[in-house]
Chain A
Amino acid sequence: MRINGLLFDGQNSRARPAALYRLGEQVILEYDGQSRTFERKDVNVLSRLGSAPRAIEFPGMMRFESSSHDEIDQVFGGLSSFIHKLENNTQLVVISVVTFVAFCVASYLWIIPATSRFVVHKIPQSYIDKIAQKMEGEWGLGESVTLAAENQDKLETITSRLTHSFPGQQVRIRPVEMDGMANAFALPDGSMMVTQPLLELLSTDQALAVMMHEMGHVTYRHGLQAMAGQMIISVLLFFTVGGGDFTAIGQNLVGLSYSRRHEREADLFAAKHLKEIGLKPSLLADGLKRIEKSVSRRREGAGGLPTFMSSHPLTEERAKYLKELD
């Protein structure tokens, strides 16, 4: 069987009409009125790819191109198009789709969370301290602020009660200033930050509940988990779709979803430990509501974001499940 196509001789880009056929282990190529014989093993038949013309490569960078796919398969056997067969096997494509969907779901639900949970407990403390220092610098947290006497008392009470609840764990709370906002958060190294307005705004029990929530972040190493998770997602995306401009959006949305999950975990952690010392989990809800109200008064409301775009679950939702735990 003759296969017609074009030949590029590897010296220049001129296309010559050509034909080839096979005689046992020999491949005969005809072009420009001449006929050349090659060993089958020296001829590289590229696998079929979509509907593009297919190349057959000869020594000396000679390249024969033809769109007669079926003829090429017949002459050279189907081996060269094994992957192409996979691609055209409906069953296998369906299996691949299912594998991929299962992989995505498993990654989202288990692989990424489990891997990041595993990784964060392997990170040496010295490295975590370095990250925390860097974050403190980036956020401009600066020196500890001097608290008014009654707030200082509150903070000391909270610290001693937390120490009592978590024996063997070092409780480090540092009062800092953040644009005059009521806020508290945990750094990866396990230290926690609280602002003066928060201590002023909340009762001692409410503030204790909020710090219990932060203790949850510290215990589960949520900050580090989030960082590890983002790295894992990057690597997975790099291998599946090769990165790109659109993937960043998906990556952010997944990151936010993990963040909401972490908040819920920390809420439940706080609820559990509040109950242990005879306090109601709804204290946390009361504290969160107050903080939200004061922040939204200053910023004209940050509660307008839809859930899938925000880092925290809606405060009403959090209040609801915390009340149920009372």
Chain B
Amino acid sequence: MLETNTPSPVAAQSYPFEFRGNGKEYFKIWIVNVGLTILTLGIYSAWAKVRTRRYFYNHMFVNGQSFDYHADPIKILKGRIMLFLIGLSVALVNLSPIFLIIPVLFFLAGPYLIVRGAIFNFTNTSFRGVRFGFQRAYQESYITWLKAIAVTIFTLGIGALTSQFYWRKFIFDHMALGKARFKLGGTGFEFWAYMMKVFFLYGLGFLAIYLGVTFGLFFSGLISKEDAGLVPFLLVAMIYVFYGFLFVVYQVRTAHFYSKHTSGDGGLGFQTRLTLWDSFLMYAEQLFLLIITLGFAWPWVTVAIAKYKAEHTDAMATPEFFNSLEQAQLESVSAFGEEVASFWDFDIGF
């Protein structure tokens, strides 16, 4: 006899992200931020940071509701001042080598600060009135740190890319939305192989194109010996384009790998529809805009990129997911870790 009384799981549906900001609106916010930051000699930058984040979070929608950011600018200002003072104190090293202890301690505190930064960032982010969160996973942070260093050293740098995965996994595995947990599957090696495969192929392709173009120009007589000076220029120009191309490859491939391997409570998952060529054209267009406006298109560019990424990403979840998130206990930490992390360009976020 067949048993059919196991509850059939409700299928997860896809909910597209949608960014409803626009360039003109953000431009006004950005320029007032910059103006006030200059006029207050940098002090307003803490408020500017919160306002910018809030703008992007508030306009990022999924299933009809948007995100919010709640950080206290005063805390961010304190974090910035502390970071600034530590930066200045590095100059003390000239007085006596004893002060070398400051940068060394700072370096050793890295994984601790990353956890503090993550707690600050996540607990100050909310969706539908429920805060994100991050565990006090100090030990795991140091383990991740050691793994990231080890994989770089023992492979003589070839495996360095793997450390990106370790950190991303560390963040995903310890973050939460209310009580809902997330998980990043896959292994460091899978990630590495997935990325290196295309880097290697495109690298070969680039070499072939470069050699083809230069030899082609020589043999076709388009470039004479006297004009040989153009060849290095051509190489530099092609390297720039190729570098940009690899940047896009990195963005698109990581998005695919991470969305494929991310899961969470309530059937949560992600799906990306980013494609390489289309993304490359989008970035090229935005870069062009930045160049011809001498950087003044910055707000439009940032908005366009956020819009593009949102349009090509779906959250996968059961319909109940959105109504069943439960608030968890909140932690309160200083913003110092977050400031350090953002100065290091360490990306704590989604």
The interface of chain A, by Cβ under 8 A from chain B, is 8-15, 49-53, 55, 61-63, 65, 83, 86-88, 92-93, 95-97, 99-100, 103, 124, 126-127, 238-243, 245-246, 250, 296, 299-306, 309
User: What chain B residues lie within 8 Å of A14 (beta carbons)?
Assistant: 323-324
Chain B min CB distance to A61 (Å): 7
A304 contacts B232, CB within 8 Å? yes
User: What chain A residues lie within 8 Å of B45 (beta carbons)?
Assistant: 239
A301 contacts B228, CB within 8 Å? yes
Interchain CB contact (< 8 A) of B49 among A103, A124, A127, A242: A242
User: What chain A residues lie within 8 Å of B37 (beta carbons)?
Assistant: 239-240
Interchain CB contact (< 8 A) of B129 among A13, A96, A127, A299: A13
A127 to B233, CA, bound (A): 37
Known contacts A8-B129, A10-B327: does B26 contact A50 (CB below 8 Å)? yes
B189-233 interface mask toward A, CB cutoff 8 Å, 1 = contact, 0 = none? 000000000000000000000000000000000000000111111
User: What chain B residues lie within 8 Å of A97 (beta carbons)?
Assistant: 31
Known contacts A8-B130, A52-B58: does B231 contact A95 (CB below 8 Å)? no
Minimum CB distance partner of A94 in chain B? B31
B22-61 interface mask toward A, CB cutoff 8 Å, 1 = contact, 0 = none? 1001101101101111110010010001011011001100
User: What chain A residues lie within 8 Å of B342 (beta carbons)?
Assistant: 242-243
A124 to B36, CA, bound (A): 35
Known contacts A52-B58, A100-B34: does B343 contact A250 (CB below 8 Å)? no
Known contacts A12-B324, A52-B55: does B236 contact A305 (CB below 8 Å)? yes
The interface of chain B, by Cβ under 8 A from chain A, is 20-22, 25-26, 28-29, 31-32, 34-39, 42, 45, 49, 51-52, 54-55, 58-59, 65-66, 68, 93-94, 126-131, 178, 228-234, 236, 247, 287, 290, 295, 298, 301, 322-327, 342-343, 345
Known contacts A8-B129, A296-B229: does B94 contact A49 (CB below 8 Å)? no
B28 contacts A52, CB within 8 Å? no
Interchain CB contact (< 8 A) of B290 among A55, A127, A246, A309: A246
A-B contact list, 30 entries, CB within 8 Å = A9-B129, A11-B327, A14-B324, A15-B323, A49-B58, A50-B25, A50-B26, A50-B58, A50-B59, A51-B22, A52-B55, A52-B58, A63-B129, A65-B65, A87-B32, A96-B32, A96-B36, A99-B39, A100-B34, A126-B94, A127-B94, A242-B49, A246-B287, A300-B231, A301-B228, A301-B230, A301-B231, A303-B229, A304-B233, A306-B233
B229 contacts A100, CB within 8 Å? no
A83 contacts B20, CB within 8 Å? no
Chain B min CB distance to A8 (Å): 3
User: What chain B residues lie within 8 Å of A61 (beta carbons)?
Assistant: 129, 131, 327
Known contacts A12-B326, A124-B94: does B229 contact A301 (CB below 8 Å)? yes
User: What chain B residues lie within 8 Å of A88 (beta carbons)?
Assistant: 28
Known contacts A8-B128, A49-B29, A49-B58: does B322 contact A305 (CB below 8 Å)? no
B232 contacts A305, CB within 8 Å? yes
Closest 9 CB pairs of A and B: A8-B129, A301-B229, A96-B35, A52-B58, A304-B233, A13-B325, A13-B128, A304-B229, A63-B129
B58 contacts A12, CB within 8 Å? no
A61 to B128, CA, bound (A): 11
Chain B min CB distance to A305 (Å): 5
A62 to B287, CA, bound (A): 42
User: What chain A residues lie within 8 Å of B298 (beta carbons)?
Assistant: 241
Interchain CB contact (< 8 A) of A13 among B25, B66, B178, B290: B178
B51 contacts A305, CB within 8 Å? no
User: What chain B residues lie within 8 Å of A53 (beta carbons)?
Assistant: 58, 66
User: What chain B residues lie within 8 Å of A246 (beta carbons)?
Assistant: 287, 290, 301
Minimum CB distance partner of A297 in chain B? B228
Known: A240-B37, A241-B298. 20 other contacts (CB 8 A): A8-B130, A14-B324, A49-B29, A50-B22, A50-B25, A50-B26, A50-B55, A50-B59, A51-B20, A51-B59, A52-B59, A53-B58, A63-B129, A86-B32, A88-B28, A92-B32, A100-B34, A100-B35, A300-B228, A300-B231
Known contacts A15-B65, A99-B38, A304-B230: does B345 contact A87 (CB below 8 Å)? no
A123 to B128, CA, bound (A): 53
A95 to B28, CA, bound (A): 11
